[in-house]
Structure 1
Amino acid sequence: MNQLKSKFLELLKSKDFLILLHRGAHGGNIVENTANAVNIALREGADIVEIDISMSTDGDFFVFHDGGERRLLDDSRNINTLSTTEIEEKYYYNELGHVLHKKVERFSKLLENIPQDVFLNIDRSWGHWETFIPYLDQFVDRHPYFMLKSPVKKELLDILDKHPIKYMYFPIIYNTDELDLLETYENINLVGFEVIEKDESFEFIISQRFDKYKQSDYMFLANAINLDDDTLLFGLLTDEVAITRDPDEAWGEMLKMGINTIQTDWVDLLLRYRDTRDKK
């Protein structure tokens, strides 16, 4: 077993299913993608916390999901086009549109202010992997807790394949062609999949192609978050259905298909659902 995934496999086997919180716990003056958001996520019961990575034009890494600049920073420019100085001059706005005293955090600063043993789903970093993955090497004690995610693209898989430190990896995967490509790589530390289902057939997740992985210790992640009213990440099985109607109608149906990790915006309610299932 690759030693960088041993701790994660222990976690995976210890729960009915894992809970991954989207961008950490945020609301009020607690801003997404910050150390506060990560720490509160852990207190609320998340097993894994998602963060997003952007890079300044100077090559410094910040925890921020590009595309959210107007909402969070009152700026129309993409953060990846800004210098470190320009990013560090910006102040966050809260959900009511009021400016805060808080600023975008460097990745290194966030790590200084969260526990060492928190599993981080590192999203949106793949555009910077040529420099970001070697940058991760310095954080030796955290290597078993870094989980990289990306679309399935040859140029990205090549970077993972060649890098000497085999960080845990789970791809965002849509179809069997992507699975075929992924399976040509033998030196990638694959720990699971984020399976995207754009309609209600769920033909991919229930297909025989995943059987050998379901019979082993792999994470199968369904993304229950609602980005809007139209984007489908796992058919019509969403957080909104779970929390406004019945959790069995969404989260429960995911679990029936072999999903063992759910990404959510509602960690407290999903944790309550897991606790209820455990007592049955």
Structure 2
Amino acid sequence: MKINNRQLEQKLREKDFLILVHRGSHGGNIIENTSDAVKVALLQHADMVEIDVSKSADDNFYIFHDGGEKRLLHELRNIKNLTSQEIKSKLLHNSLDEPIEKRIESFDYFYTHVNHNTLINIDRSWEYWETFLPFLDKYSEMHEYFILKSPPKRKYLRQLNDHRIKYLYFPIITDLEQLEILKEFPDLNLVGLEIIESLEGKFKLINSPKIDSYRREELMLLSNSIKLNDETVLFSGLDDNLALLEGPKSSWNSILKTGINAIQTDWPDILYQYRQTL
């Protein structure tokens, strides 16, 4: 069964570009990758919210980006090595590094506490697709709102391609050869591409004629404006920091001129204000 993509298509038609929020809107006592962060992202005019999925040692799914354990839990072990009982016992820490009465949310808790008309980009789940895809099937009320992504490795694409429910999907593209791999899996429910331009000042991928067919189909072409650190380049050096400190025209405007129609950010309210000026 192929999931209908009308919710995403409608937003692409209605908006100058889509605003995706990285891990939800977080700060203060609102913790990333929580249903609270999704609610705040919607208040800040998000069109889609990205979340991360991890699996515990006893095979339960949680909304968490592994690697953040030390920062958010003061825990040195990876969440993949923690049992559900251990995960539920740990308090999250807020932006001031204070422990608060908030815990990592299970997927089921998250699902029951978010608006079911919210487009949710599910990140970091690909490692578990053998069990996660059947698990996701039961959350049928949001099937049109779940959008999966992954690196376009054949293992992941085969699992997605062969699963009976064809979820909305976009791959993370880092080189043009990956577009050829996608063609090997005709049953993918492809709704867009995330374009990673890792060389500062270069637009090797987004300016390639190989992307033109995706433009003509009016699929989502997503860039990452988020600033992960001082080293990682996600879209040719055009990022949130540049937009905030030197003005949107120096960054977000330049991104949009490449034909991108969706931007992932950590600052949705300011990006929304910029979109209102277009």
Shorter-chain TM band = over 0.9
Conserved in 1, the CA contact under 8 Å of 2:220 and 2:262? yes
- How far the C-alpha of 1:3 sits from its partner, in A, is 4.7
The alpha-carbon deviation at position 248 of structure 1 amounts to 1.2
The CA deviation at 1:102 is: 0.6
Report the secondary structure of 2:142's partner residue: helix
Partner residue in 1 for 2:46: 46
Aligned 1:115-126 pairs, distance under 5 A: 115-126=115-126
Q: How does 1:94-173 map to 2 (within 5 A)?
A: 94-173=94-173
1:57 and 1:80 in contact (8 A); partners too: yes
SS state of the match for residue 59, structure 2?
Answer: coil
Map Cα deviations across residues 196-249 of structure 1 (whole Å, 9 max, x no partner). 001121111110001111011200000000001111000110000011002111
Aligned residues: 276
Q: Offset at 1:4?
A: 2.0
The correspondence of residues 49-60 of structure 1 with structure 2, limited to 5 A, is: 49-60=49-60
**Which amino acid counterpart does residue 202 of structure 2 have in structure 1?**
S
Aligned to 2:30: 30
Letter of the 2:87 partner, please give it. I
5 Å-filtered alignment, 1:58-69, equals 58-69=58-69
The CA RMSD over aligned residues, in Å, is 0.8
Q: TM-score, normalised by structure 2?
A: 0.98
Please say if residues 4 and 166 of structure 1, whose CA atoms lie closer than 8 Å, have aligned partners that are also in contact: no
What percent identity do the matched residue pairs reach?
46
1:201 lines up with 2:199 in the alignment: no
What's 1:185 paired with? 185
Partner of 2:214: 213
**What does residue 236 of structure 1 align with?**
237
Aligned 8 A contact 1:73 1:92 in 2: yes
| AA of the residue aligned to 2:146 | F
Instruction: State the match for 1:274 in structure 2.
Output: 275
Which residue in the other structure is 2:80 paired with? 80
d(CA) in 2 for partners of 1:88, 1:101:
11
2 CA distance for matches of 1:176 and 1:29? 41
Alpha-carbon separation, structure 1, partners of 2:117 and 2:219: 20
Aligned mates of 2:256, 2:217 — CA distance in 1: 16
CA distance in 2, matches of 1:125, 1:139: 15
Task: Supply the distance in 1 between the matched residues of 2:211 and 2:198 (Cα, whole angstroms).
Answer: 18
1:18, CA displacement in angstroms?
Answer: 0.1
Residues 3, 56 of structure 1: alpha-carbon distance in 2 compared, 3 angstrom cutoff: closer
Q: AA paired with 2:216?
A: Q
User: TM-score of the superposition, structure 1-length normalised?
Assistant: 0.97
Contact kept, 8 Å, 1:93 with 1:100, in 2: the verdict is: yes
SS at match of 2:42: helix
Q: Which residue number corresponds to residue 19 of structure 1?
A: 19
String of CA shifts for 1:66-119, please: whole Å, max 9, x gaps.
Answer: 010000000011001111111111110111111111100001101101111100
1:189 positional shift = 0.2
Assess, with a 3 A threshold, how the Cα gap between structure 1 residues 268 and 58 changes in structure 2: closer, same or farther: same
Find the aligned partners of 2:269 and 2:37 in 1 and give their Cα distance: 14
In 2, distance between residues paired with 1:255 and 1:162? 35
